[in-house]
Homo-oligomer: A and B are copies of this chain.
Amino acid sequence: MTKYGFLGIGIMGKAMATNLLNAGFDVTVWNRTAAACRPLVELGAKQGKTAADVVAQSDITFAMVSDPEAAKALCFGKDGVLEGISEGKSYIDVSTVDADTSSDIYHAVKANGGRFLEAPVSGSKKPAEDGTLVFLCAGDQSLYEDAVDALDVMGKKSFYFPRMGQGAQMKLVINMIMGTMMTAFAEGLCLGDKIGLEKTDILDVIGQGAITCPMFQLKGPLMMEENFAPAFPLKHMQKDMRLALLQGDACSQPLYTSSAANNAYLKARQDGRGDEDFSAVIKNL
Protein backbone atom coordinates (compact mmCIF):
# COMPACT_ATOMS: atom_id res chain seq x y z
CA MET A 1 0.00 0.00 0.00
CA THR A 2 1.38 3.39 -1.03
CA LYS A 3 2.49 5.60 1.85
CA TYR A 4 1.64 9.29 1.56
CA GLY A 5 3.13 12.30 3.31
CA PHE A 6 1.50 15.71 3.71
CA LEU A 7 3.49 18.81 4.70
CA GLY A 8 1.78 22.06 5.61
CA ILE A 9 -1.46 21.74 7.60
CA GLY A 10 -3.05 25.16 7.05
CA ILE A 11 -6.61 25.82 5.92
CA MET A 12 -6.06 24.14 2.56
CA GLY A 13 -3.70 21.39 3.69
CA LYS A 14 -5.92 20.33 6.56
CA ALA A 15 -8.92 19.93 4.25
CA MET A 16 -6.93 18.01 1.65
CA ALA A 17 -5.26 15.65 4.12
CA THR A 18 -8.61 15.03 5.80
CA ASN A 19 -10.03 13.87 2.50
CA LEU A 20 -7.09 11.49 1.99
CA LEU A 21 -7.58 10.02 5.47
CA ASN A 22 -11.33 9.69 5.05
CA ALA A 23 -10.70 7.79 1.82
CA GLY A 24 -8.56 5.29 3.74
CA PHE A 25 -5.11 6.39 2.61
CA ASP A 26 -2.03 5.89 4.80
CA VAL A 27 -0.89 9.45 5.57
CA THR A 28 1.95 10.90 7.65
CA VAL A 29 1.60 14.61 8.36
CA TRP A 30 3.91 17.41 9.46
CA ASN A 31 3.47 21.09 10.14
CA ARG A 32 5.87 23.82 11.25
CA THR A 33 3.76 24.28 14.38
CA ALA A 34 3.02 20.72 15.35
CA ALA A 35 -0.29 21.38 17.14
CA ALA A 36 -2.06 21.89 13.81
CA CYS A 37 -1.60 18.16 13.13
CA ARG A 38 -3.72 17.00 16.07
CA PRO A 39 -7.13 16.82 14.33
CA LEU A 40 -5.57 14.72 11.57
CA VAL A 41 -3.87 12.38 14.03
CA GLU A 42 -7.28 11.86 15.59
CA LEU A 43 -8.51 10.79 12.14
CA GLY A 44 -5.72 8.20 11.95
CA ALA A 45 -2.73 10.11 10.56
CA LYS A 46 0.81 9.41 11.72
CA GLN A 47 2.85 12.49 12.65
CA GLY A 48 6.41 13.03 11.39
CA LYS A 49 9.13 14.83 13.33
CA THR A 50 10.53 16.79 10.42
CA ALA A 51 9.72 17.32 6.77
CA ALA A 52 12.75 15.22 5.90
CA ASP A 53 11.44 12.37 8.06
CA VAL A 54 8.06 12.43 6.35
CA VAL A 55 9.61 12.34 2.89
CA ALA A 56 11.98 9.52 3.88
CA GLN A 57 9.14 7.42 5.32
CA SER A 58 6.64 8.04 2.50
CA ASP A 59 6.48 7.05 -1.15
CA ILE A 60 4.75 10.25 -2.27
CA THR A 61 4.79 13.45 -0.23
CA PHE A 62 2.50 16.42 -0.86
CA ALA A 63 3.24 19.95 0.31
CA MET A 64 0.87 22.93 0.57
CA VAL A 65 2.48 26.15 1.78
CA SER A 66 1.67 29.81 1.26
CA ASP A 67 4.18 31.22 -1.23
CA PRO A 68 7.44 30.67 -3.13
CA GLU A 69 9.60 31.67 -0.15
CA ALA A 70 7.90 29.12 2.09
CA ALA A 71 8.14 26.48 -0.64
CA LYS A 72 11.87 27.03 -0.99
CA ALA A 73 12.47 27.08 2.76
CA LEU A 74 10.53 23.82 3.13
CA CYS A 75 12.52 22.15 0.38
CA PHE A 76 16.04 23.49 0.87
CA GLY A 77 16.08 24.32 4.60
CA LYS A 78 17.50 22.31 7.49
CA ASP A 79 15.53 19.07 8.05
CA GLY A 80 13.78 19.94 4.81
CA VAL A 81 12.36 17.88 1.97
CA LEU A 82 15.65 17.52 0.12
CA GLU A 83 17.30 15.76 3.05
CA GLY A 84 14.66 13.06 2.82
CA ILE A 85 14.78 12.57 -0.93
CA SER A 86 16.51 9.49 -2.31
CA GLU A 87 16.00 7.04 -5.16
CA GLY A 88 12.31 6.13 -5.33
CA LYS A 89 10.98 9.05 -3.31
CA SER A 90 8.44 11.41 -4.87
CA TYR A 91 7.51 14.97 -4.04
CA ILE A 92 4.42 16.91 -5.20
CA ASP A 93 4.22 20.61 -4.44
CA VAL A 94 0.60 21.78 -4.68
CA SER A 95 1.46 25.31 -3.52
CA THR A 96 1.17 28.17 -5.98
CA VAL A 97 4.69 29.24 -6.87
CA ASP A 98 6.38 30.85 -9.85
CA ALA A 99 8.01 28.82 -12.59
CA ASP A 100 11.56 29.55 -11.39
CA THR A 101 10.86 28.24 -7.90
CA SER A 102 9.24 25.10 -9.34
CA SER A 103 12.19 24.60 -11.60
CA ASP A 104 14.75 24.98 -8.80
CA ILE A 105 12.94 22.41 -6.66
CA TYR A 106 12.50 20.09 -9.63
CA HIS A 107 16.20 20.04 -10.44
CA ALA A 108 17.24 19.57 -6.83
CA VAL A 109 14.85 16.65 -6.32
CA LYS A 110 15.98 15.03 -9.58
CA ALA A 111 19.64 15.47 -8.65
CA ASN A 112 18.98 13.49 -5.46
CA GLY A 113 17.30 10.66 -7.40
CA GLY A 114 13.66 11.58 -6.72
CA ARG A 115 10.67 12.48 -8.85
CA PHE A 116 8.83 15.81 -8.78
CA LEU A 117 5.47 17.28 -9.81
CA GLU A 118 4.33 20.89 -9.58
CA ALA A 119 0.59 20.76 -9.05
CA PRO A 120 -0.91 24.15 -8.15
CA VAL A 121 -4.63 24.01 -7.47
CA SER A 122 -7.54 25.95 -8.82
CA GLY A 123 -10.04 26.46 -6.00
CA SER A 124 -9.88 27.65 -2.41
CA LYS A 125 -11.24 26.56 0.99
CA LYS A 126 -14.67 25.24 0.01
CA PRO A 127 -13.52 23.09 -2.95
CA ALA A 128 -10.64 21.80 -0.80
CA GLU A 129 -13.14 20.60 1.81
CA ASP A 130 -15.50 19.20 -0.81
CA GLY A 131 -12.74 17.40 -2.70
CA THR A 132 -13.50 19.40 -5.82
CA LEU A 133 -10.16 21.09 -6.44
CA VAL A 134 -8.56 21.15 -9.89
CA PHE A 135 -4.86 20.21 -10.14
CA LEU A 136 -2.62 21.75 -12.79
CA CYS A 137 0.33 19.36 -12.95
CA ALA A 138 3.67 19.37 -14.74
CA GLY A 139 6.91 17.45 -14.19
CA ASP A 140 7.48 13.66 -14.06
CA GLN A 141 4.66 12.02 -15.93
CA SER A 142 5.14 8.66 -14.22
CA LEU A 143 4.64 10.37 -10.87
CA TYR A 144 1.47 12.02 -12.17
CA GLU A 145 0.17 8.56 -13.05
CA ASP A 146 1.14 7.10 -9.69
CA ALA A 147 -0.47 10.00 -7.82
CA VAL A 148 -3.71 10.19 -9.75
CA ASP A 149 -5.67 8.16 -7.18
CA ALA A 150 -4.80 10.60 -4.45
CA LEU A 151 -5.45 13.60 -6.70
CA ASP A 152 -8.87 12.17 -7.53
CA VAL A 153 -9.72 12.02 -3.84
CA MET A 154 -8.76 15.65 -3.25
CA GLY A 155 -10.05 17.07 -6.52
CA LYS A 156 -12.63 16.63 -9.20
CA LYS A 157 -10.19 16.94 -12.07
CA SER A 158 -6.47 17.02 -12.74
CA PHE A 159 -4.51 18.07 -15.79
CA TYR A 160 -1.01 17.02 -16.85
CA PHE A 161 1.06 19.38 -18.97
CA PRO A 162 4.29 18.20 -20.59
CA ARG A 163 6.69 21.01 -19.62
CA MET A 164 7.74 21.99 -16.09
CA GLY A 165 6.34 25.41 -15.26
CA GLN A 166 3.19 24.99 -17.34
CA GLY A 167 1.08 24.27 -14.27
CA ALA A 168 2.12 27.62 -12.80
CA GLN A 169 1.66 29.37 -16.14
CA MET A 170 -1.83 27.95 -16.62
CA LYS A 171 -2.79 29.19 -13.20
CA LEU A 172 -1.53 32.70 -14.06
CA VAL A 173 -3.56 32.80 -17.27
CA ILE A 174 -6.72 31.67 -15.46
CA ASN A 175 -6.20 34.17 -12.66
CA MET A 176 -5.57 36.99 -15.12
CA ILE A 177 -8.92 36.31 -16.79
CA MET A 178 -10.56 35.98 -13.37
CA GLY A 179 -9.11 39.25 -12.10
CA THR A 180 -10.24 41.13 -15.18
CA MET A 181 -13.71 39.57 -15.08
CA MET A 182 -14.09 40.63 -11.47
CA THR A 183 -13.20 44.22 -12.38
CA ALA A 184 -15.63 44.20 -15.32
CA PHE A 185 -18.33 42.76 -13.05
CA ALA A 186 -17.67 45.46 -10.45
CA GLU A 187 -17.82 48.15 -13.14
CA GLY A 188 -21.18 46.83 -14.28
CA LEU A 189 -22.56 46.75 -10.75
CA CYS A 190 -21.38 50.32 -10.07
CA LEU A 191 -22.70 51.66 -13.37
CA GLY A 192 -26.06 49.94 -12.87
CA ASP A 193 -26.31 51.28 -9.35
CA LYS A 194 -25.56 54.84 -10.49
CA ILE A 195 -28.23 54.80 -13.18
CA GLY A 196 -30.87 53.52 -10.80
CA LEU A 197 -30.92 49.75 -11.25
CA GLU A 198 -31.04 47.53 -8.18
CA LYS A 199 -27.86 45.49 -7.66
CA THR A 200 -29.99 42.48 -6.73
CA ASP A 201 -31.78 42.78 -10.06
CA ILE A 202 -28.47 42.95 -11.92
CA LEU A 203 -27.26 39.82 -10.14
CA ASP A 204 -30.55 38.06 -10.94
CA VAL A 205 -30.37 38.94 -14.61
CA ILE A 206 -26.72 37.90 -14.86
CA GLY A 207 -27.62 34.66 -13.13
CA GLN A 208 -30.05 33.81 -15.96
CA GLY A 209 -27.78 34.54 -18.87
CA ALA A 210 -24.69 33.64 -20.88
CA ILE A 211 -22.17 35.17 -18.48
CA THR A 212 -23.32 33.55 -15.27
CA CYS A 213 -20.47 31.80 -13.48
CA PRO A 214 -19.75 30.41 -10.02
CA MET A 215 -17.60 33.44 -9.15
CA PHE A 216 -20.39 35.96 -9.81
CA GLN A 217 -22.91 33.75 -7.99
CA LEU A 218 -20.66 33.46 -4.94
CA LYS A 219 -19.08 36.91 -4.78
CA GLY A 220 -21.99 39.03 -6.01
CA PRO A 221 -24.10 38.80 -2.86
CA LEU A 222 -21.03 39.25 -0.61
CA MET A 223 -20.02 42.37 -2.54
CA MET A 224 -23.52 43.79 -2.14
CA GLU A 225 -23.28 43.50 1.63
CA GLU A 226 -19.69 44.86 1.51
CA ASN A 227 -18.32 41.63 2.94
CA PHE A 228 -14.71 41.49 1.77
CA ALA A 229 -13.38 38.81 4.12
CA PRO A 230 -10.43 37.45 2.15
CA ALA A 231 -11.01 34.13 0.38
CA PHE A 232 -8.34 35.24 -2.10
CA PRO A 233 -6.51 38.36 -0.91
CA LEU A 234 -6.44 41.30 -3.30
CA LYS A 235 -2.66 41.67 -3.04
CA HIS A 236 -2.23 38.10 -4.28
CA MET A 237 -4.55 38.69 -7.20
CA GLN A 238 -2.61 41.85 -8.06
CA LYS A 239 0.66 39.91 -7.89
CA ASP A 240 -0.73 37.29 -10.28
CA MET A 241 -1.93 40.03 -12.63
CA ARG A 242 1.56 41.54 -12.61
CA LEU A 243 3.20 38.19 -13.33
CA ALA A 244 0.78 37.50 -16.17
CA LEU A 245 1.38 40.96 -17.66
CA LEU A 246 5.11 40.34 -17.52
CA GLN A 247 4.61 37.08 -19.40
CA GLY A 248 2.67 39.05 -21.98
CA ASP A 249 5.40 41.67 -22.17
CA ALA A 250 8.01 38.99 -22.76
CA CYS A 251 6.17 37.72 -25.85
CA SER A 252 4.95 41.10 -27.19
CA GLN A 253 1.33 40.33 -26.35
CA PRO A 254 -0.74 43.44 -25.59
CA LEU A 255 -3.26 42.84 -22.81
CA TYR A 256 -5.65 45.79 -22.90
CA THR A 257 -8.32 44.95 -20.36
CA SER A 258 -5.96 43.03 -18.11
CA SER A 259 -3.57 45.93 -17.69
CA ALA A 260 -6.53 48.21 -17.00
CA ALA A 261 -7.70 45.76 -14.33
CA ASN A 262 -4.20 45.63 -12.87
CA ASN A 263 -4.30 49.40 -12.39
CA ALA A 264 -7.60 49.03 -10.53
CA TYR A 265 -6.02 46.49 -8.16
CA LEU A 266 -2.97 48.72 -7.72
CA LYS A 267 -5.24 51.61 -6.79
CA ALA A 268 -6.97 49.37 -4.26
CA ARG A 269 -3.60 48.39 -2.76
CA GLN A 270 -2.59 52.06 -2.64
CA ASP A 271 -5.77 52.66 -0.64
CA GLY A 272 -4.89 49.90 1.79
CA ARG A 273 -7.16 47.09 0.58
CA GLY A 274 -4.42 44.53 -0.14
CA ASP A 275 -5.52 42.16 2.63
CA GLU A 276 -9.22 42.25 1.76
CA ASP A 277 -10.77 39.89 -0.75
CA PHE A 278 -9.93 40.73 -4.36
CA SER A 279 -13.59 41.58 -4.94
CA ALA A 280 -12.92 44.73 -2.86
CA VAL A 281 -11.69 46.24 -6.12
CA ILE A 282 -15.30 47.45 -6.41
CA LYS A 283 -14.66 49.93 -3.59
CA ASN A 284 -12.34 51.95 -5.84
CA LEU A 285 -14.74 52.31 -8.73
Contact = CB atoms under 8 A, between A and B. Distances in A.
A251 B159 contact: no
12 contacts: A123-B210, A156-B208, A169-B197, A170-B205, A173-B188, A174-B205, A178-B211, A180-B184, A187-B253, A191-B253, A212-B213, A259-B259
Given A194-B253, A259-B262, A262-B259, A202 B173 contact: yes
A266 B285 contact: no
Nearest to A219: B210
List the number of copies, as a whole number: 4
- A interface, over-half SS: helix
A170 B200 CA distance: 12
Interface stretch (A33-41, A55-63, A240-248): A240-248
A195 B257 contact: no
Contacts of A201: 159, 161, 170
Contact of A166 (B197, B247, B248, B257): B197
A16 interface: no
Contacts of A184: 176-177, 180-181, 184, 257-258, 261
Contact of A270 (B196, B254, B256): B254
Interface range for A: 35 or more
A214 B212 contact: yes
Contacts of A73: none
A215 B263 CA distance: 26
Given A159-B205, A176-B187, A195-B247, 4 more contacts: A157-B208, A249-B266, A256-B285, A257-B264
A283 interface: no
